[in-house]
Amino acid sequence: MAEKFNYKIHPEKCAPDDFWGQVRRTVNGAPVSPDQIDMIVKAISKGLKICGSDVVLDLCCGNGALSTYIFSKCRSGLGVDYSPPLIGVANQNFKKPGHEFLIVKDVVEYVAEEHSPERFNKALCYGAFQYLRRESAYELLLKLHDTFSSLERLFVGNLPDKDEMPRFYENRRYTAGIENDHSSDIGLWRTKSEFSLLARQTGWSVEFSSMPREFYAAYYRYDAILAPGEQQCTKR
């Protein structure tokens, strides 16, 4: 069985300035191009309706290479991640006045322990939500809804669309059940309906958006923009 990917080890195998390689934002092993990054930044900025007065929380921020684009558009930002080497890169290369990067065991633990959650009015989790266990994903959204009372919008980006799995695996080897494995290379696949149910159960309304056709993963990924809504009463 192949060894599971580990973001606590992988970044140290990359060059110090290979920022996109460190977080595996690559195509066929090569870092994505600047125009691809620009599309991501535009999608997040539009989805969050970023403005200069915002205080933004970036969950699973990695090495801060993407965070810094978003933080530069707002008043201040905080990035959190569980990987010491990635946070080390973030603090060495992207820390600026008003920009902070913290190491935590996981983002669920962070949101439970944040002393001033009301200071954030926007939040994002890009390219990482699918790697959370199902129970952790539920808990994260629930705690953000119930505790981070000032959050107006939450952007959950680059989610793998289960409805597009047949197309994705058309010319790839498929392992039965891999779509349900959060620790696989792509993580948990969810249909938009499944994500909508998760959002509603944890108190969020949700709308979806897609990247431009030119985006390298547009055909099997989607973005979700969440806003506080009415929480359903469900048993888990």
Q: What is the chain's length?
A: 236
- 47 in helix, strand or coil? helix
DSSP conformation letters of 85-151: HHHHHHHHHT--TTEEEEE-S-HHHHHHH-S-GGG-SEEEEES-GGGS-HHHHHHHHHHHHHH-TT-
H or E element that contains 221 = strand 221-228
Q: Which CATH number fits domain 40-228: 1.20.140.10, 3.40.50.150, 3.30.230.70, 3.40.190.10?
A: 3.40.50.150
pLDDT tens for the chain, residues 1 to 236:
233 456 667 777 788 888 988 898 988 888 999 999 999 999 999 999 999 999 999 999 999 999 999 999 999 999 999 999 999 999 999 999 999 999 988 899 999 999 999 999 999 999 999 999 999 999 999 999 999 999 999 999 999 999 999 999 999 999 999 999 999 999 999 999 999 999 999 999 999 999 999 999 999 999 999 999 865 544 44
DSSP 8-state class, residue 102: E
In the Cβ-directed half-sphere of 20, how many Cα atoms lie within 13 Å?
13
Q: Please give the C-alpha separations between residue 182 and each of 61, 84, 185, in angstroms, as whole numbers.
A: 18, 21, 8
